[in-house]
Amino acid sequence: MSETNRPKVLLVDDEDRFRSIMIKILKLKGIEARGAATAAEALLAVAEETFDAVLLDMRLGEDSGLDVLRGLRAAGVETEVIVLTGHALPELPADLAGEGVSDYLLKPVEPDEIAARIESVVERAQALRRLL
């Protein structure tokens, strides 16, 4: 958690309007949020700051959310990752679990559901760290 004791999230999505609106909504729900539009921006952001979770779109224009995920893990970043995608594939959730994804949401999804999932994965990760 950040110094304000609120979850801190990086929202990685190439849709400017969606990213901007979601950041505002998350902040209203008591979640600190920062945005990134590309894989490079996302990897730079996690190098500069610590996040409790990354909300990651799987399609980022020329980039892939999977590339971001693998880049995070290769850099040793253990941050919780919630995948957000508008393109459901039956095998995707299982494949993502193998990549260390904490949760999976299919667009369109209500902002309340996104906030609830963020809080859930952050709380679960904190509880696990306390046990270890």
Provide mean pLDDT across the span 107-119.
Answer: 92
pLDDT recorded at residue 90: 62
Average pLDDT over residues 78-102: 76
Average pLDDT over residues 43-62: 93
What is the CATH number that goes with domain 8-131? 3.40.50.2300
Confidence of residue 20 (pLDDT cuts 50, 70, 90): very high
Which pLDDT belongs to residue 95?
67
The number of beta carbons lying within 10 Å of the beta carbon of residue 82 is 22
Average pLDDT score over residue span 98-125:
88
Q: Where are the beta strands (DSSP E) in the chain?
A: 8-12, 32-36, 53-57, 59-60, 63-64, 80-85, 103-106
Alpha-carbon distance of 82 to 5, in angstroms, equals 20
The model's confidence at residue 24, banded by pLDDT at 50, 70 and 90, is very high
Looking up tokens 């901007």 gives 20
Which band of pLDDT confidence, cut at 50, 70 and 90, is reported for residue 9?
very high
Q: Any idea where the domains of the chain sit in the sequence?
A: 8-131
The gap between the terminal CA atoms of the chain, to the nearest Å, is: 17
Distance CA 1, CA 51 (A): 8
pLDDT confidence band for 121 (50 / 70 / 90): very high
Q: What is the pTM of this model?
A: 0.89
- Better pLDDT: 132 or 17: 17
